[in-house]
Amino acid sequence: MNLNSFWETNLRIIEAQYPGLAAELLQAPKTGLREDEIRIESAATGDPVMIIRGIHIYSLRDPAREGRRLAETLASSLAGEGPLIVLGFGLGYAAEAAAWTVPDRTVIVVERHPLILKKALECRDFTAFLTRYKIIFVLGNNGEALNHALRLLDTGKPALIRNRALTGLDEEWYAGAEQRIKTWYFRDDVNTATLRRFGKRWVRNLALNRKAIRDLPGVSHLEGCLASIPVLLAAAGPSLDRIAPLLPELAERAVLVAVDTSLRFILSHGVDPDFTVVVDPQFWNARHLDRAGAAKTCLITESAVYPSVLREPFARTFLCSSLFPLGRFIEDRIERKGNLGAGGSVATTAWDFARTLGAGSIWIAGLDLSFPNLKTHFRGALFETRSLSASHRFNPIETFSVRTLREGQPFRAPSAAGGEVLTDKRLSLYSSWFENQFRLYPAIQNHSLSPDGLTIPGFPVSPVEELLALPPRRREIAGLLAQVYSRIDKEFNSPPEREARSIRYTSACSGLLRGLETLRTLAAESADMASKAALPRDRLLKRLGDVNRLILESEVKDVAGFLFPPLAELEADLKTPESAPYGRYLELSAKLYRSLAKTTEYHLNILAGP
């Protein structure tokens, strides 16, 4: 088959399966690599090899065997369910060999230069590769395409296959792609660890705060109410100190949204934020509000926050929709509050709240997502105050700072002002969230007032003078908010509406308790049945199948399953050998039912209070 035949055959498949990719390849894409910089020669075996800028990408002896050997060396990492991510496609030898090794897994091809992929399609027949395996192509500079591909799969940790010769040609670009992959999957570890640490706290908080779902309006009532007015979002990074003297003037020109950690700082400079966002459920996070005196500020929060937050004397309180099954169960039967994004940091939720208000431009101070000059927070933050009070001669405050810097697995990354800045895995995870949101909402103009922070695509640094140059609008903002609050009082707090919500709330709570009690009894009985194996095999399997169906049909299954341990954890402790599959199935079933009965019992005990 000649080169034209290879190209025509491969292109027909791509046009049918990847029309967008076909269009990109036919446009003769340019990414800094020229046609005359790529040569194709023949190896000793007759297979084509690629030479780029004089560098041999493959062995001149047997490139296909080289690709197979690379896949074999990665055999241990190819176990699992996640995708195969090929960094640098070249002529595809390694990608083909790896896909053949694990044909049920998706292959994500990440190639800096579309021209390289085009050359590969011209000189090799990829019919089997393109039609037999699940392939996703990520080409060029669009980093969001890689995030999108990972979101589509989201099935497990990936296996990386690197063509060192190719990635070495564009080391910085491929390092950025690899960091995206690590950041994306690091969030799973964060979510699992967070649930283990705070899961029960969230449930306890929700149980104590559940009447707030009945009594407080949702942020949906504020949607679009301040359209066309700029928002100043004050996060709590070190660069917040930069705008401290300017806060009174800035608040005249924009809606001021604070987060829990920056509220006291803003108040101490004589400014009352319009809104303060608080979503963290921890006790120590609630301490940021101690004696804050924010009587002119509206609280934006979630029903899982530490209960004392809802007792603080804010002017008004609005709830966003709960992220947790217990809160959603009650909301779904009373009133949905309105979703706000959750990227792991209160600043992510605050940004999405600013978007919900209808802001066309959002100016953000203190969003460093890094440690400029090794600083972790603005001066006077609660963290700093607590560290100072706990420090002594043999445990100075520097020890606390170093511990904070080291615990998040720090590394250096590009700074918004040029050069590099120290960040860590947790903060880089937040930066990925912001980058994604900026792409999803391109109409919103985002301005960073933190030049020493982590660079985020779509988030240019703007001098604070540009915000100061905007006309004062404080009187207009106050008038619009007064109108909105008046409307909410009439719609949400009218006596008929309050009575109707009370009826719906009582019904929701009764249904929740009934469902949990039924599930607890069913799970406990089924655990006993599976562990004793008292029934004949066929009858027992049918009975357990019926139980599983009833559990899946239960309207409280998500509530009860929230604290459920990972399946891998239960499987790890099984004592029945794999050579006895029926006994192993019964043992695992008994553990699953006992865990379900335990988590259901926990919810019932917590909900037994007022």
The string of pLDDT tens digits covering residues 431-466 is 878 887 887 888 999 999 988 888 888 899 999 999
> What is the model's pLDDT at position 391?
47
Is residue 187 assigned to a domain?
no
Torsion of CA 602, 605, 607, 610, to 10 degrees: -160
Is residue 89 assigned to a domain?
yes
Whether residue 326 sits in one domain with residue 432 = yes
pLDDT, average across residues 45-64: 87
Give the separation between CA 35 and CA 33, rounded to whole angstroms.
7
Whether residue 378 sits in one domain with residue 291 = yes
Q: Are strands 107-111 and 231-234 parallel, antiparallel or unpaired?
A: unpaired
Whether residue 341 sits in one domain with residue 217 = yes
Whether residue 337 sits in one domain with residue 248 = yes
> Over 60: is that where the pLDDT of 328 sits?
yes
> What is the model's pLDDT at position 398?
47
> Over 50: is that where the pLDDT of 387 sits?
no
Tokens linked to 226:
């301040």
pLDDT, average across residues 503-520: 95
Higher pLDDT among residues 429 and 125, named by residue: 125
Whether residue 515 sits in one domain with residue 459 = no
Contact in structure between 517 and 601 (CB atoms under 8 Å)? no
303: pLDDT confidence band, cut at 50, 70 and 90? Answer: very high
Is residue 490 assigned to a domain?
no
473: pLDDT confidence band, cut at 50, 70 and 90? Answer: very high
Domain limit, last residue, from 420, 450, 485? 485
Whether residue 499 sits in one domain with residue 481 = no
Whether residue 19 sits in one domain with residue 92 = yes
326: pLDDT confidence band, cut at 50, 70 and 90? Answer: very high
Percent of the chain with pLDDT over 90: 37
280: pLDDT confidence band, cut at 50, 70 and 90? Answer: confident
Whether residue 380 sits in one domain with residue 293 = yes
pLDDT, average across residues 108-124: 88
192: pLDDT confidence band, cut at 50, 70 and 90? Answer: low
Is residue 176 assigned to a domain?
no
Domain limit, last residue, from 137, 154, 169? 169
3-state class (DSSP) for residue 52: strand
pLDDT, average across residues 49-64: 87
Whether residue 404 sits in one domain with residue 293 = yes
> What is the model's pLDDT at position 225?
93
> What is the model's pLDDT at position 429?
74
400: pLDDT confidence band, cut at 50, 70 and 90? Answer: very low
**Phi-psi bin for 372: left (phi > 0), alpha (psi -120 to 50), beta?**
beta
Contact in structure between 485 and 569 (CB atoms under 8 Å)? no
Is residue 295 assigned to a domain?
yes
> Over 90: is that where the pLDDT of 365 sits?
yes
Whether residue 152 sits in one domain with residue 53 = yes
Neighbours of 62 (CB within 10 A): 18
Is residue 466 assigned to a domain?
yes
When divided into structural domains, the chain yields a total of 3
Q: Kindly report the average pLDDT of the chain as a whole number.
A: 84
> Over 50: is that where the pLDDT of 397 sits?
no
Higher pLDDT among residues 552 and 571, named by residue: 552
Tokens linked to 436:
């994604």
CA 343, 349, 355, 356 torsion-angle sign: positive
> Over 60: is that where the pLDDT of 78 sits?
no
Is residue 373 assigned to a domain?
yes
> Over 60: is that where the pLDDT of 155 sits?
no
Is residue 439 assigned to a domain?
yes
> Over 60: is that where the pLDDT of 95 sits?
yes
3-state class (DSSP) for residue 420: strand
396: pLDDT confidence band, cut at 50, 70 and 90? Answer: low
Q: Which amino acid is at 40?
A: I
Whether residue 280 sits in one domain with residue 144 = no
Query: 537: domain range?
Result: 495-607
Higher pLDDT among residues 542 and 379, named by residue: 542
pLDDT, average across residues 327-346: 88
Q: Are strands 107-111 and 84-87 parallel, antiparallel or unpaired?
A: parallel
Domain limit, last residue, from 440, 462, 485? 485
3-state class (DSSP) for residue 62: coil
Tokens linked to 304:
């899982």
Whether residue 369 sits in one domain with residue 350 = yes
CB-based contacts of 479, cutoff 8 Å, min separation 6: none
